[in-house]
């Protein structure tokens, strides 16, 4: 089992003929993701790799192919319009890889998506992969292994490191999600925790946070009340110098609420096993899963 994407995912790639879009579309096709359409205005009627039809609009792509998911690889100045277009065409899951999307633009697009029942993952994220089923985004497929561990992270690089450690030790993943580190993102930790808790194919969860904001504290409170599966976590930025802005746009500390120390304390209070280093994920998970008989 998995969350958000699976073998029924029918994907349209917005920006399929651009540098990033074409490169990663080839990777997704090689993974046997069902890429049913691409969109590049002015290039409708062409085909990508002689197989994927290209349309001028997402609306045309959905009408012709029944696409239900979109991934966005367009420059930041066009990304919000691409999100509007996908939701307006009836797409139910939009994954926006694009970084540098202005926060003010996100305040406009989020209500529009919510009104139409469209889930957004991102922006500024590596996307989502359900190993053995579907890859939507840029998470390297070769480091993933089909299994029962759910992974959700604000940090793209640390997502890859943790997945690599899990796979090396034979702990496969049900779904791996990079939610992005911008101040406003479409899908947060709680959304993913709720989905993993409900997924019968997920036995344990890895949550990777970072300094800045209070998302991790809110997620920890949710875990303490709603999640019965084992959860382990890591907070990036524990060695960040006081007052220094580091990492994502969302990694901005306000007072004491966004510090690594405060987040680690919230995790521990919620019963979440906390790693000091990502390499500890395997031993900590095995310990927690053994404790509940997984």
Q: List, for residues 201-250, the tens digit of each pLDDT value.
A: 999 999 999 888 889 999 999 999 999 999 999 998 665 555 555 555 44
Considering the entire predicted model, what is its pTM? 0.93
Count CB atoms within 10 A of the CB of residue 236. 24
* Cα 6 from Cα 4, distance rounded (Å): 7
At 112, is the secondary structure helix, strand, or coil?
Answer: helix
Is 169 catalytic? The answer is no
Q: Which residues pair with 188 in a beta bridge?
A: none
Return the pLDDT at 258: 74
Query: Phi/psi of residue 286, each to 5°?
Result: -60, -40
Are the C-beta atoms of residues 211 and 251 closer than 8 Å to each other? yes
Return the pLDDT at 253: 47
Question: Which residues of the chain are modeled with pLDDT < 70?
Answer: 237-257, 291-294
Return the pLDDT at 155: 82
Return the pLDDT at 213: 83
Return the pLDDT at 241: 58
Q: Which residues pair with 39 in a beta bridge?
A: 14, 55
**Catalytic residue of the set 24, 169, 225, 248:** 248
Are the C-beta atoms of residues 35 and 13 closer than 8 Å to each other? yes
Return the pLDDT at 74: 97
| Cα three-residue angle 31-97-28, rounded to 5 degrees | 10
C-alpha pair distances (Å), 144 with each of 75, 228, 238: 28, 25, 27
C-alpha pair distances (Å), 151 with each of 131, 161, 285: 12, 11, 12
What the chain holds in terms of domains, given with CATH numbers, is 11-121 (3.40.50.720), 139-291 (3.40.50.261)
Buried b (16+ CB within 10 A) or exposed e, 244-270: eeebbbbbebeeeebbbebbbebbeeb
* Cα 126 from Cα 187, distance rounded (Å): 13
């Amino acid at each position: 089992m998995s969350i958000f994407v699976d073998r029924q995912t029918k994907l349209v790639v917005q920006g399929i003929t651009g540098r990033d879009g074409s490169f990663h579309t080839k990777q997704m096709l090689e993974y046997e993701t069902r890429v049913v359409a691409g969109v590049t205005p002015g290039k409708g009627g062409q085909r990508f790799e002689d197989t994927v039809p290209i349309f001028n609009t997402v609306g045309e792509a959905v009408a012709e192919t029944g696409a239900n998911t979109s991934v966005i690889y367009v420059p930041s100045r066009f990304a919000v319009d691409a999100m509007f277009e996908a939701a307006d065409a009836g797409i139910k899951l939009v994954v926006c890889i694009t970084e540098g999307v202005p926060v003010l633009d996100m305040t406009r697009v989020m209500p529009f998506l919510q009104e139409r029942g469209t889930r957004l993952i991102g922006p500024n994220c590596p996307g989502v992969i359900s190993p053995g089923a579907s890859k939507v985004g840029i998470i390297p497929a070769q480091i993933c292994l089909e299994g029962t561990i759910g992974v959700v992270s604000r940090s793209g690089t640390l997502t890859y490191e943790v997945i690599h450690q899990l796979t090396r030790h034979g702990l496969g993943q049900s779904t791996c999600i990079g939610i992005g580190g911008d101040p406003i993102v479409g899908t947060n930790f709680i959304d993913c925790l709720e989905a993993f808790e409900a997924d019968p194919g997920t036995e344990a969860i890895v949550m990777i946070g970072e300094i800045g904001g209070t998302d991790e504290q809110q997620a920890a409170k949710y875990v303490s009340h709603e999640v019965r599966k084992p959860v382990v976590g890591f907070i990036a930025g524990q060695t960040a110098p006081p007052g220094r802005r580091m990492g994502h746009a969302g990694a901005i500390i306000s007072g004491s609420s966004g510090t690594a120390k405060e987040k680690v304390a919230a995790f521990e209070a919620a019963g979440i096993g906390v790693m000091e280093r990502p390499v500890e994920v395997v031993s900590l998970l095995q310990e927690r899963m053994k404790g509940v008989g997984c």
